[in-house]
Structure 1
Amino acid sequence: MSSFGDVEDGEGPETEREGLSDVDEDEGDEDLAGDEYVDGDGEGEENDEYQLEFGTGMDPLAFVEENESGVMPFQQFEKLEYEALAARKRKALAVQRAAKMKSSKAQEDVFGANIDEIWESAGFGIGRRRRRRKKKRKLGRRSRLTPEVAKMLGEANLLYAMGKFEEAVELLKECVRIAPNVPDSYHTLGLLYDAMSDRKKALNFYMIAAHLTPKDSVLWKRLASWSMEQGNIGQVIYCLTKAVKADPDDVDAKWDRASLFAEHNDYQKAAEAFEQLLLQRPSDVEVGKMVAKMHHKTGQCERAIQVLEKLVEEHPAEADLTAVNLLAELLMESGQFATAIAHIDHASTLYCPDQHLPIDLSTKAGICHAYLGNLEDAESFFEELSEERIEGFADLIMDVGDAYLALGEHKYALHYYGMLHGDKTFDNAGVCLKMAECHAALKETRAAIDLYYRVLQDLPHHIETRLTLATILDENGQFDEAISVLAPPESSESVGPPGDVEDSWWKDGEVRKKLAQLYLSHELYPQYLDTLVPAIQETLYLESQNHKVRNPKRLRKSVLLERVRWIEDRPADEVFHGFRPVLSSSNMVKAARAKKRLQQLLEDKKDRKAAALAAGQTYESEEEEDDEPIPNEVHHVKQPLPNLLKDEEHYQLILQCCRTLTSSKRYWEALEIVHHTLQAGSGLGQEKRDELRNLGARIAYQTRDANYGFDCVKYMVAQRPYSTSVWNRYYQVISRSEARVPKHNKFMLHMRSKYPDVVPTMIISGHQFSMISQQQGALREYLQAYKLQPEDPFINLCVGTAFINLSLGFRLSNRNQCVMQGFAFLYKYQRLVNFNQESNFNLARAYHHVGLVQLASTYYEKVLSTYVKDRPPVKLPHEAVEIETGIPPKKVTSDHDLGHCNLQREAAYNLHLIYKRSGSSNLARQLLKDYCSF
């Protein structure tokens, strides 16, 4: 027999102390932590179970007083328990690591082990005896109260019986200070305060007593009841959890705890709690149904089905039709209609062998047959439903109608929806809406329209009804009525208070889009734009405001001080003193900013103090205000089109609106929409952003101010600097602008330095120099382009023209050589273009410009002898905006709409000037009559 057997029978204190002589220091401290008092059953707790112990430095009475931070007493006990268990966990891990290191060391030195180590490794050593002795002692330990404490408790009870509550309270508080771990003191204090009608303090003292006697489940349940009266649900759940731990067989406590979780929408914890109860009572139908409902609430439908199937199959005697009904609902929701029919048939055989199934189960069976395609069998189950009175089964009739509607059997659905006519609960706008949907599917347009109007009388703000009704009316040729359904009422400004007007149905985004779509389909473009453009502009404005960088919240002063301590609060005798602290770069930046901010706050405080003293006022510190964060004053306004920048449909809506605005020559509004979309649409893909910029460049070409379109074309050429067509678009926008574009010159300098081999930048720069009469700069740029593309006709024309213009300058020393060089390039240009009419005109104009009128007359006559037919201007596919918008393109109706290709009129006019100056007035007059008269 073991030598520790006497300890189990309750050996005295002397023997117990002797037994502690072999226990190491840490284990002895833990063993002695609760020696003052143990609950009366004499059974200690397990090693991993927590019990409250008031040590030195802790004031038990502080748990009763009102906490300024609003922390409840049970939350303080939770924190103490968490810290104690965490400390115990850390200690256990440390012991485990030490044992592992000792074991590895013993394995490395097997041959040097002594007899004690061998016995210890085999489990027969002194450490084993210590642990066993400690466990035995814990199980049999029973401490006794000191005579002083017992006397004080007796006197307090006597005072309580005599009604001297105040004296008893003071005596018991003194008792708590002497022996803080005696639960009787707190229990009696609870009785006293309850008698004094201070239920809150009574509850707090009972809470301490319950923590000192954690096995008293009755006390925990009483505390839960009192907490429920006070409305403290968190404390109720806490007390019931403790009651369940004290008495794991207490079914009522488990049920109440799980029900509280369910009532407060914590379905996951409710499911776990009911699962524990189901393990204890597997045949309880109510528990099984609650488990299934909680799993269904958490979205675990399959788990709920498994629980009910197990209940019905393993406990058929205890199960009932309500469980089968719930199981059938879950199976139908998950689409397992055949399995649901099987369970209903089995329940019919088991519970209703000689009678019909309840009507709710038979209805569910019929719905399952309908979903499986057996409409005749389904109708046989619904016969009983048609014979019953509607008052008690209207919900079942509604379920049948909904099932047929979902299956697309609109005739059957109409039959059952019609049965609900006259029912106070279900004869409402919802049923009318479903009946209208059925009539519309059956092409019974007139009946559907009447029902939709009836729904709008009851629910005027129902958006889907208005949209559907407008579609049906438009398809039926009733366009004006469709517009009246969606257009705002004439007295919309005076309908209800301002808050109601903002939420009115005509301000809904879907209504506006549908109304605009109707206008667009009937080619009513002004009405389309007036409906859609304000909504888009307002939405983009709100989106841009939301994307602006707001001022961040001001950090509290305590946070700033804490960050400064990261780099300043280090001991002077630190081994690595003088080295950088081990911080990440981001934390170092935060600490530096915090230090700078604190210095700034200190300087501002000094300045304010000096200003206040100079004004003869009393300075009041604002440190408390500095600790408060700046409120984020952001007012969320409802957007007219909430998802404008989030999906493809709304993106196409923006493009359509911009193209229609361009076709209506409302260029500024179109450019504004493009600009704000690019600014606010950070979530748009790169492809869509490029398309918007291209659209903005095309619209900007139509305007006389390139400030809006410049950013678009600038981005385009920056992305494709070697594309000639993109540079053409860029220069089209810049050259048509009547306003000065300040960013253009700087951008061109940047592109010339970054891409020195791009010819379009050289040509554009040359044009810019020519426009400001700096011919040398223009010639320099053109010659750079000529080096790269010497056979380009346009570059040869530009170089020749630049030489001719330069030859007319006053500071040129060798004018004739410059003229000859210019004409050399012009003749090369003429050869490259095959001596066409345009080249002859350019040569004639050059000779005319330098005063060689004889040669100019020769080339003007060549132009007059050549005829070129005028043609419409050539447009690229992306320039045909009218075609993209669906607006019919303009037809060429006269010669004024044709492009000017024939240069005979210009040549005749210039030649007539030469003739007129030489004195041949009749010849000049004849030229104007032949070529320039209409």
Structure 2
Amino acid sequence: MLEGNLKNHVNEASLNVVDLLASVLMETNAYMKALEHIEHVQQAYCTGKAFPLHLSIKAGICHLHLGHCEKAQAYFNGLKPEHASTYPDLIIDVADSLRTVGQYESALKYYMMLEEDANKYNGYLHLKISRCYDSLRKKVQAIEYYYKAVEKLNDSVDARLTLSSLLLEENRDDEAISVLSPPVESESAPDTNSDTCKLWWRSGKIKLKLSRIYKAKGLFEAFADVLFPIIRETLFLETVQQKVKARKRLSRSVLSERVKVLDDHQTDNVFHGFRPVASSADLSRASRAKKLLQKKAAKKEAKRAAALAAGLDWTSDDSNDESPQVRREPPLPNLLKEEENHLLIVDLCKCLSSSRRYWDALELINLSLKLECNMLSVQTKEELRALGAQMAYNIADPAHGWDYVRYIVSHHPHSFSAWNCYYKGIMRTNKFSKHNKFLYNMRMKHKDSVPPIVISAHQFTMISQHQAAAREYLEAHKLMPDNPLINLCVGTALINLALGHRLQNKQQAILQGLAFLYNNSRLCEDSQESLYNIARAYHHVGLVTLAAKYYEKVLAIHEKDYPIPILPSDNPELMTVNKPGYCDLRREAAYNLHLIYKKSGAFDLARQVLKDHVVL
């Protein structure tokens, strides 16, 4: 239309048409065509007259984008510093074009013409100047003008992120944290709706950048405090709003058609009151449609009554379409699309776990693994499930971590560390019957796995069913005959079984139990603990002469101390400092030996044993 106007109307007013046409063409990067129109009007209509400055500048910008830098500069020379108040838009257009083609020094010259009146541009002029300095690798000047820009810009998320990156490059970490931290007055200010008032310090990008700075500096508590809320909100919204097949909302007309199947309103029909002839599916649909119509009518009546009570005019809305729900944008869109963010979630869960915020860590793990369109790698999922399994015996209610514990055990059925984690959780619940089915299935599926057999035997021992425990321990012994723990468990189970009332061949059971205890001592190379177990077994069944002999062997051994392992749920600061000799069993052996001496009437020997080994 503009080109047609130029062909049909050749006069002075065509300059305005050319100006508008050139602007449109330049927006579509058609610089050659725009330049042709400008030069044509310059030759045809402005011979011997001063060419308008705004058209000259547009011609210069076209030459600049076409690579004719010298011709462009000749056009730009018409702009002088004294034109700053008269033609500020032309100066900005020239500077922006120079910055676009990479001539940052020249762009700075024109931006600086407007610096005296920079307050009129609300920080945007300073932002453009700082970007030019940044492109020229002049960090100090860029930081100076970025500071000026962020003072004026209220929504300066990108500017603050760039400024913080420049400060980090200059090793000014504290300033970078200050730039990204919310102002002090915001902590006491009332909370406003984020939809109506988007504050820069609530941006997910700002908090993500700030958390990474905290992590790099080793401030893990601050890292977790900043990052956890936005990660949790993002994962929650992604989980709630993940792609699910939308339920079709039926209009009132469609519902009314379905209700006609019930034939309730045809009172003049001779078959009124009889069950309509229709399939059960059609009758079910009609019944649901009737209930929906009644529900909508009740809502409509309630709205009308509320409007009349408030003194408002009631206008019925007969629209059949339901108002669509507004989709809430998460703080960090597309969080799981970058592998770097996967590692960040894992690090956050580890940090929360080390800070004893087990519920928060478990919540993040649940949300991350619940997403249907999950883009986490297999390794990341395994690591998150392993962390979730640790939460099972760290949180107050381990039931929330059972899915992860069972997953780890199911995929690593021969791992003793995985079964240890599982057993620690069982010991905290005291509800062993709930896990019997899982243990049974694991035993049937992996018959060569020893841990589930031992765990089942431990459960029988805890409820004093020593015969069943001995049977399970012997099954484990068939698979691992040289394991010291299994030999110890078999021996104690047989001895406990021999002390019952129902067993007839008690002596045989005692001998078998002692045989396993001696085997345990052999495998442990006659350690102090293994000898003490034999002595305690003899003492338990009443063979005090043999018990005294082995107690004396225990007293002759000096056991060195071993460090006690600290579990993840233990606080090292609250661990009591044990005195030297806490791994030595001589005091326990001496006390039991003194009981034997005392019962046999040797009171002097009993006192001497206590004096030598027990009294401090």
Give the TM-score, by structure 1 length. 0.50
Residue-by-residue CA offset, 1:465-494 (whole Å, 9 max, x unaligned): 223334445655362673365224424564
Task: State the 1:817 CA deviation.
Answer: 0.8
CA distance in 2, matches of 1:288, 1:595: 71
Q: What is the CA–CA distance in structure 1 between the aligned matches of 2:6 and 2:392, rounded to whole Å? A: 71
Partner-residue secondary structure (3-state), 2:614: helix
1:683 to 351, 364, 374: 374
Structure 1 pair 407–745 and aligned structure 2 pair: CA distance change class (3 A):
farther
Who wins on radius of gyration, i.e. which is larger?
Answer: 1
Question: Retained in 2: the 8 A contact 1:404–1:412?
Answer: yes
- 2:292 paired with 1:598: no
Question: Which whole-Å deviations, capped at 9, do the CAs of 1:358-411 have from their partners, x for residues lacking one?
Answer: 543343333443xxxxxxx73563243033255687566545544554566543
Equivalent residue of 2:585, what SS? helix
What secondary structure, in the 3-state scheme, does the structure 1 residue paired with 2:374 have?
A: coil
- Say yes or no: does 1:421 pair with 2:112: no
Query: 1:544-563 to 2 correspondence within 5 Å?
Result: 544-546=239-241, 552-553=247-248, 555=250
- Give the AA of the match of 2:161: L
Aligned residue number for residue 148 of structure 2: 454
The reply to whether residue 746 of structure 1 matches residue 437 of structure 2 is: yes
What is the alpha-carbon distance in structure 2 between the residues aligned to residue 410 and residue 838 of structure 1? 80
- Aligned equivalent of 1:483, options 172, 178, 194: 178
Q: Residue 691 and residue 814 in structure 1: after superposition, are their counterparts in 2 closer, same or farther (change >3 A)? A: same
Partner of 1:790: 481
Indicate yes or no: 2:510 matched with 1:819. Answer: yes
* Counterpart check, 1:651 vs 2:335: no
Alignment of 1:98-497 (within 5 A): 358-369=56-67, 378=69, 381-389=72-80, 390=83, 397-398=91-92, 401-402=95-96, 405=99, 410-421=104-115, 427-440=121-134, 444=138, 447-473=141-167, 475-477=170-172, 479=174, 482-483=177-178, 485-491=180-186, 494=189
CA contact (8 A) 1:713 1:730 kept: yes
CA RMSD of aligned residues (A): 4.9
String of CA shifts for 1:832-888, please: whole Å, max 9, x gaps.
34444443343333333333344334444444544554444579xxx9999xxxxxx
How many pairs does the alignment contain?
547
Are the counterparts in 2 of residues 432 and 451 from structure 1 also a CA contact under 8 Å? yes
- Alpha carbons 1:775, 1:806 under 8 Å: kept: yes
- Tell me: CA distance 1:430–1:502, structure 2 relative to 1, closer, same or farther (3 Å): closer
Q: 1:855 is matched with which residue: 546, 551, 575?
A: 546
> CA 1:287/1:860 → structure 2, altered by over 3 Å: closer, same or farther?
farther
Secondary structure, counterpart of 1:810 in structure 2: coil
Q: Where does 1:606-645 land on structure 2 (aligned, <5 Å)?
A: 631=322, 634=325, 636-645=327-336
Q: Secondary structure at the match of 2:77?
A: helix
| 1:926 and 2:612 aligned | yes
Partner deviation per Cα, 1:190-224 (whole Å, 9 max, x = no partner): xxxxxxxxxxxxxxxxxxxxxxxxxxxxxxxxxxx
Q: Secondary structure at the match of 1:387?
A: coil
Change (3 A) 1:865 1:667: farther
Equivalent of residue 663 in structure 1, options 336, 340, 354: 354
On the 8 A contact 1:731/1:764 being kept in 2, the answer is: yes
Q: Structure 1's 410 and 722: CA in aligned 2 closer, same or farther, altered over 3 A?
A: same
Match of 2:402 among 695, 698, 710: 710
Tell me which amino acid in the other structure corresponds to 1:727.
W
Question: Offset of 1:535 from its aligned partner?
Answer: 3.3
- Return the offset for 1:695: 1.0
Equivalent residues of 2:129, 2:145 under 8 A apart: yes
Equivalent-residue separation in structure 2 for 1:350 and 1:501 (angstroms) = 49
Q: CA deviation at 1:710?
A: 1.6
Partner of 1:905: helix, strand, or coil?
coil
- Say if 2:537 is the partner of 1:843: no
Q: 504, 507, 532: which one pairs with 2:202?
A: 507
> For residues 158-208 of structure 1, what are the alpha-carbon distances to aligned partners after superposition, in whole Å with 9 as ceiling and x for unaligned?
xxxxxxxxxxxxxxxxxxxxxxxxxxxxxxxxxxxxxxxxxxxxxxxxxxx
Identical amino acids, percent of aligned pairs: 36
Alignment of 1:532 with 2:218, yes or no, is no
Give the SS at the match of 2:502: coil
Does structure 2 retain, via aligned residues, the 8 Å contact 1:803–1:822? yes
**Which ranges of structure 1 fall in alignment gaps of 5 or more residues?**
1-254, 256-283, 290-319, 334-339, 370-376, 566-590, 607-624, 883-888
Name the aligned partner's letter for residue 414 of structure 1. L
Q: Is the Cα contact below 8 Å between 1:853 and 1:914 reproduced in 2?
A: no
Of 667, 685, 695, 2:387 maps to: 695
Contact 1:705 1:739 survives alignment (8 Å):
no
Please tell me whether the aligned partners of residues 644 and 650 of structure 1 are also in contact (alpha carbons under 8 angstroms). Answer: yes
User: Could you tell me how far apart the structure 2 residues matched to 1:288 and 1:601 are?
Assistant: 65
> What per-residue deviation string (whole Å, max 9, x for no partner) do you get for residues 579-609 of structure 1?
xxxxxxxxxxxx9744432256679999xxx
Give the distance between the partners of 1:347 and 1:630, measured in 2 at CA: 53
* Matched residue, 1:160: none
Please say if residues 551 and 593 of structure 2, whose CA atoms lie closer than 8 Å, have aligned partners that are also in contact. Answer: no
Report the CA distance between 1:433 and its aligned residue.
0.8
- Compared with structure 1, are the counterparts of its residues 288 and 350 closer, same or farther at alpha carbon in structure 2 (3 Å cutoff)? closer
CA deviation after TM superposition for structure 1 residue 453, in Å: 3.3
Distance of 2:191 and 2:396 partners within structure 1: 46
Q: 2: CA distance between counterparts of 1:803 and 1:443?
A: 81
Residue number in structure 1 paired with 2:594: 915
Structure with higher RCO (Cα < 8 A, 6+ apart): 2
Which residue is equivalent to 1:52? none
Q: How far has the Cα of 1:540 moved from its partner? A: 4.1
State the shift of 1:682 in Å. Answer: 5.1
Q: Equivalent residues in 2 for 1:714-733 (5 A)?
A: 714-733=406-425
What CA distance in whole angstroms lies between the structure 2 residues aligned with 1:864 and 1:406?
88
How far is the alpha carbon of 1:769 from its aligned partner?
1.4
What SS class does the counterpart of residue 584 from structure 2 fall into? helix
CA distance in 2, matches of 1:868, 1:915: 21
CA offset at residue 749 of structure 1? 3.1
Letter aligned with residue 438 of structure 1:
C
Q: Do the aligned partners of 2:467 and 2:497 also contact (CA within 8 Å) in 1?
A: yes
2: CA distance, partners of 1:881 / 1:366: 67
Residue 421 of structure 1 aligns to which amino acid in structure 2? E
- Aligned residue for 1:460, secondary structure, equals coil
Deviation at 1:647?
3.5
Deviation of the 1:349 alpha carbon: 12
Show the counterpart of 2:470.
779
State the match for 1:807 in structure 2: 498
Quickly say closer, same or farther: Cα 1:905–1:449, change in 2 above 3 A. same
Report the CA distance between 1:809 and its aligned residue. 1.8
Assess, with a 3 A threshold, how the Cα gap between structure 1 residues 402 and 595 changes in structure 2: closer, same or farther. Answer: same
Distance in 1 (alpha carbons) for counterparts of 2:552 and 2:396: 37
User: How much does 1:329 deviate?
Assistant: 7.2
Q: Distance in 2 between matches of 1:897 and 1:469?
A: 53
Kindly indicate whether the alpha-carbon contact (under 8 Å) linking 1:363 and 1:382 is maintained by their aligned counterparts in 2: no
Structure-1 separation of matches of 2:607 and 2:64:
106
SS of 1:683 mapped into structure 2:
coil
* SS of corresponding position for 2:382: helix
**Paired amino acid for 1:512:** K
